[in-house]
Amino acid sequence: MRIISCIKPGQLEYREVPEPVCLPGYSIIKIRRIGICGTDIHAFGGTQPYFNYPRVLGHELAAEFVEGDAPRLRKGDRVTVIPYQHCGKCIACRSGHTNCCQHMQVIGVHADGGMAELLMVPSRLVLSAEGMDPDRLALVEPFAIAAHGVRRAAVLPQENVLVVGAGPIGLATMEMAAITGAHVLAVDVNDNRLARAKKIAGVKAAFNAQDDHLEAKIRAATDEDMPTVVIDATGNLHAINNAFRFMSHAGRYVLVGLQKGDITFSHPEFHKREGTLLSSRNATRKDFDWVLENIRTGRITPEKYITHHIHFNDIVEEFPSLIADAGLVKAMISLD
């Protein structure tokens, strides 16, 4: 079978490898769609912190069940995968926080992922989604990340929530916060993405991060309160450090985005506000189940975030130009 391997930063190549042989406790799935996410782009660019080369990328997956011991599944059933392989034994797993397992192996990051014709995964991580459109199904994982971030922030109705970064995870986070009944504000450097945030993600107001009067505008939009919740979805060090100043007194700041460096902020400013700083990593089965149910009922329509479609056969040649496209929000790889 064919795979696409990221050999080193900036280099993808097709390789022929043997088909996987199913082991007890595992299932083999046939990949139909792969969403390209920020992790894939950062890995290609050499800026992903939890990464070794060579690696098969891809963890936003829609697939068909082929064989294995996943319960209640038959060959051909549509499935998706929770890509976070957890140990089940560490302190995080024992307390239900499987998303931040001490020995985490994320498919497509620590272990080879879904840019392949077939993939073997632990059966306990396979989720049934029979009848669901493949484009929708491949976007369950990023929406689960967004749902988890909003849940970590404990967002309440009528709260002012500022999401920094209007990429795919940021847009999904905005929509998840809006679903809770919050007043959502968006910040990004790209006006086209800000316009998209207002159009499809339930955003009340959007601001360019390069505006000299940004803080004053956010203050005015929140009736001088400032946002009680700030969520970073950029993974950009400058943006992360800068956004501390937008948090209200008694506010919460949640880091969904990830970067390699050390964050810095004014301790007196943070202390006097009695701020709460949280990270949000991956998602749990609860988040995946919530997203799947809301896609089934039509409350979430994730395919509206797809801006580009590309075939598996064209990825190696076109990936650099694809991710450089200023209009890119979410690209979907098809193996049909």
Q: Where are the domains of the chain?
A: 2-138+301-334, 146-279
Task: Assess contact for 293 and 140: CB atoms under 8 A.
Answer: no
What single-letter amino acid sits at 279?
S
pLDDT at 49: 76
pLDDT at 209: 97
Residues 6+ away with beta carbon under 8 Å from 268: none
Ranges of beta strands (E only) in 88-140 are: 105-106, 118-122, 126-128
Among the CATH numbers 2.60.40.420, 3.30.870.10, 3.90.180.10, 3.30.565.10, which is that of 2-138+301-334? 3.90.180.10
- CATH code: domain 146-279 is 3.40.50.720
**Which letter does DSSP use for residue 111 in this model?**
B
For 307, the token pair is 């801006």
C-beta atoms surrounding 90 within 10 Å: 16
pLDDT at 189: 96
pLDDT at 48: 77
What is the CA angle 291-85-119, rounded to 5?
A: 85
Please report, in tens digits, the pLDDT of each residue of the chain (336 residues total).
Answer: 999 999 999 999 999 999 999 999 999 999 999 999 988 998 999 877 778 899 999 999 999 999 999 999 999 999 999 999 999 999 999 999 999 999 999 999 999 999 999 999 999 999 999 999 999 999 999 999 999 999 999 999 999 999 999 999 999 999 999 999 999 999 999 999 999 999 999 999 999 999 999 999 999 999 999 999 999 999 999 999 999 999 999 999 999 998 888 999 999 999 999 999 999 999 999 999 999 999 999 999 999 999 999 999 999 999 999 999 988 999 999 998
Measured CA to CA in angstroms, residue 254 lies from 117, 133, 217, 278, 332 at distances of 36, 32, 21, 5, 28
User: Could you identify the residue written with the tokens 């459109």?
Assistant: 133
pLDDT at 79: 98
Cis before 18 (ω within 30): no
Residues 6+ away with beta carbon under 8 Å from 92: 86, 98, 100, 101, 102
pLDDT at 51: 80
pLDDT at 46: 87
DSSP helix/strand/coil, 247:
coil
pLDDT at 315: 97
**CA-atom Rg of the chain in angstroms:** 20
C-beta atoms surrounding 179 within 10 Å: 16
Residues 6+ away with beta carbon under 8 Å from 271: none
